[in-house]
Amino acid sequence: MSTDLQPNAVLANRYRIVERIGKGGMAEVFRGMDHVLEREVAVKVLTNRSDDVSRRFLMEAQSMARLNHPNIVAVYDVGVDRSLSYIILEYVRGRTLREMDRKTMPLDTALTLILQLLEALQYAHDQGIIHRDIKPGNLMVSDDNVLKVMDFGLARRMSDMSNLTQSGHIVGTLAYLPPERFLGKSGDKASDLYSVGVLLYELLCGRLPFALDSGDVAAVMYAHVNDRPKPPRLQNPLIPPALDRIVMRLLEKEPAKRYGDAATLIQDLRAVQAALRTPARHAPALDENAEQAAASQPAAVSQPASEETSQSFAAEPSEDRATARFATDEFVTSKTFTAALTRVMQGMMCARKQQWREAEDHYVAAVGMLTPMKYPTELARTYARLGALYCAKMKATGVAPPSEVAAAREYLTKALPVLRERRLSGDVKEAEANLQALESLPASA
């Protein structure tokens, strides 16, 4: 959907449209001119006019209007003209962090940007506002290297938090979301700091901590909830141990084990940056809780190297674009789709614990949700997981009921054509291996 606003169009007899500079899932953004105050502005105009999106759009304006900080994009005005809802924002000359090279950024530059982000978050948190969607596309870096946080469309007041399971809808950007959000919780200050940790990991290592090159959305969700990322120093040996510990603490699964607030994190990062700028000094000491958290870390879980998520999704077919947007930079507005992905993730968790019946129930429910929708890749992967579940159960129990053998064969056979068409070699190899294993089973229990 588009606003159809053309250059020289005027909103509210005041804001002249100059050019379109961005488009997202909910709104278009234009560079404009405020003829009353004679200054450039950014004009954000709603394109999706559903009740839920309109509510979030108004929430963004209300949240940002309460914030006055040099590292937060200022909101100047909000209104409706000719049925078009708009927000007038500070215009920042520069690029989003998404548009910058995040793979080769110097340590000092990365820390400087993250510290500016944290200053903004500390201020917002002190005002009782959680951002809930920290990601490169929501961070502007001006031509003079000042970072500005924008898009508080998902922001919530701490006093108005509610459990997301009421709507069954996960919003935000999957690659940067904290584990608790996938488990139906709304999140708090520690959730914002987890997203900062993902971003810091990306800037330091040139890759995301859970960027699976297969583009498997449910697997990324599962990884956030269950897997420990490879420590940054194993990706980039130039990272000092103190910084490595900070990042790993930010990425803790349990919110209580992360930093309690941005202020303490800022203090530790500034100490690291000071040490980097003066190599002769000893490594900075973290606070006692940070040292204890580092000492309690389990051994690293090795993961295959992969490109960042946005690149890995580039080859997805057109009907799966919503899956790609969910994982990279947009919202998925289908509550049924996000509920299905959550079911798949829960099935994976149960399968890992050999809770066979519970895993089967989750997968079957996900199949029922995905079948009417145009997400063939996710449906095929769910079929393959169901087949693999039966195979794993039969291997673990030593019993091969004919009904389960037939069901496993049926699901794997349904999955393979789509997986092959999508050239998902890892998935294809696993599904074929499971089918081959079924051939060696006896015809009856």
Q: What is the CATH number of domain 334-439?
A: 1.25.40.10
As annotated, the residues of the chain forming the CATH 1.25.40.10 domain(s) are: 334-439
How much is the pLDDT for 185? 81
Cα(362)–Cα(343) distance, integer angstroms: 5
Confidence of residue 339 (pLDDT cuts 50, 70, 90): confident
Nearest to 381 by CA among 352, 355, 335, 343: 343
Q: What is the mean pLDDT of residues 311-332?
A: 37
As annotated, the residues of the chain forming the CATH 3.30.200.20 domain(s) are: 10-90
Higher pLDDT, 305 or 154: 154
Which of the following is catalytic: 101, 126, 133, 329?
133
Which residues neighbour 10 within 8 Å (Cβ) at sequence distance 6 or greater?
16, 17
Percent of the residues in the chain that have a pLDDT greater than 90, as a whole number: 61
Cα(397)–Cα(441) distance, integer angstroms: 13
pLDDT in tens, 395-431: 999 999 999 999 999 999 999 999 999 999 999 999 9
Q: What is the mean pLDDT of residues 308-330?
A: 36
Active site residue 329: no
Name the CATH superfamily for 10-90. Phosphorylase Kinase; domain 1 (3.30.200.20)
How big is the CA angle at 345 (ends 184 and 54), to the nearest 5 degrees? 40
Cα(387)–Cα(311) distance, integer angstroms: 29
User: What is the helix, strand, coil percentage profile of the chain, to 5?
Assistant: 50, 15, 35
442: helix, coil or strand? coil
As annotated, the residues of the chain forming the CATH 1.10.510.10 domain(s) are: 94-295
Fold annotation for 94-295: Transferase(Phosphotransferase); domain 1 (1.10.510)
What is the C-alpha end-to-end distance of the chain, expressed in Å? 56
How far out from the chain centre does Cα 77 lie? Answer: 29
**Is the Cβ–Cβ distance between 57 and 46 less than 8 Å?**
yes
